Structure 1
């Protein structure tokens, strides 16, 4: 069973102002090409070589650096907040014999409790309140005598981040303009007679205190983008909270991977045409914009800003297939016509 939940705190108080970082600068460090057809230079982290955090870090940083959103810097205080919350979630799930995934911590008696809201927990660790948190979790139930072949923690982390990037609101959170990031993962197992239940939780916190990443005036970034490979061909909206397509309530019903367009906050992005095709055959798509976004941060505030658009194929794409994407519109009244090729995976 795969669980998703998301909270995007884009307008929380604290942490504003200060210097800005420019997206597109090439950081130093090891390269990774798991989701890119060309080498991408990534910043170095302090995560353990076999950890879920390193797997997720590699996928997220590759996606951001490849597609022009800008690489992030690891911040230990955000790591601590993310890890404490992952431990809170796994311990609560094991103690209550019920799988749960939430941005809220309600049991103050839990040793891993550090605050009710995500920004309470980052503040507890000495960081500010301007953060976006994305979470993913899996639950495995199996017979002790016949255990499944489990992925390594490194593989789990990479898959967690790839799952989060193949969504709407989680993808938005992953590409948040905060320059800082921290990650945490935890795994706990409960034995019940001849059965075992494994609870795994992963969280990523992207935030800023004095620095935000700016794309630049008139600049547009997309994910996926040119040279994106192994893009999951299907997305099940019912697994995401909030659900970007509330009419789709069955986890068996899928659409294609969302394509995210973003400019800097304050700029107005208007899409007038989009084509997603393979070998000249176009697939049907739908758009999610601020005007038709079904989710709300507050009673009247949509998640999607005037500087953002999602293009979502109406049905799952074919696996292991190249797709050509054409995006046409206006950014602050200036026309753009952007094309790229991406490839799906399994």
Structure 2
């Protein structure tokens, strides 16, 4: 068996304890909350005792915590967790909201890459100059700027002052192909719907991608500076290779850490940006998670955490696989 195939098997095997550990820790935190979720699910202070008792029996709250966790796990992996808040299967609720979060993540990573990569390259080639300093200050602001502050500032400008965006509704495409309106509009050439989708998502995507742009710019700069100091650069320059070709080789050799950070940023965006989705009224996974926490909806909290964990481990797995294609020196 090749070393690469062994690596894939090892990574796939690590998925199980990672996901289990995340779900277990989330359950313990939810269990430790000093509140009575059963009474809240049954209707609050006016809840009828018989209703409370039925809910306890259904969710096994009349059993020890480890038995409760066991039955939660069984229903989780059977795909049969029911939200006491909505009365729906939590995976159905998650599936209906996933396209919103995916579209937001696509806009977010677009802004992160389009802004962060060029700035990082410019800073690397102009290092120790005023341009480099300006890019590093931008990266620091991007990392430090609270998402809610930037969101409200941009809403004040683009919604209140210029009325150039909308904060209501979720645009869809006229034809359904993949179930993701942005992609469906592109595939079918539905430019009217595409314009509505872009108008709804570009600002929250920019807010979510602003932090990522700062992080990516910093990583691109550092990785490119390191590649510029390698021996092969001096060798290529001594041979008289054109500057454009030298920079092409430098960029390719600095791609591994860049791909890592872009993959992690995309995974973070796909995990549902609760603050951004809540502020902009986007009914995605982040907003769903916030509402679940607010209403002590333990099944929904555990299910969304489970989905987020899968997204992260799959994203990391894909990034690791891409290493071998980007840099042949990588061996597993």
Query: Normalised by the size of structure 2, how large is the TM-score?
Result: 0.21
Query: Normalised by the size of structure 1, how large is the TM-score?
Result: 0.21
Q: Between Structure 1 and Structure 2, which shows a larger proportion of helix residues?
A: 2
Instruction: Mark the structure with the bigger radius of gyration.
Output: 2
Q: Which has the higher contact order (CA 8 A, sep 6+)?
A: 2
Q: Between Structure 1 and Structure 2, which shows a larger proportion of strand residues?
A: 1
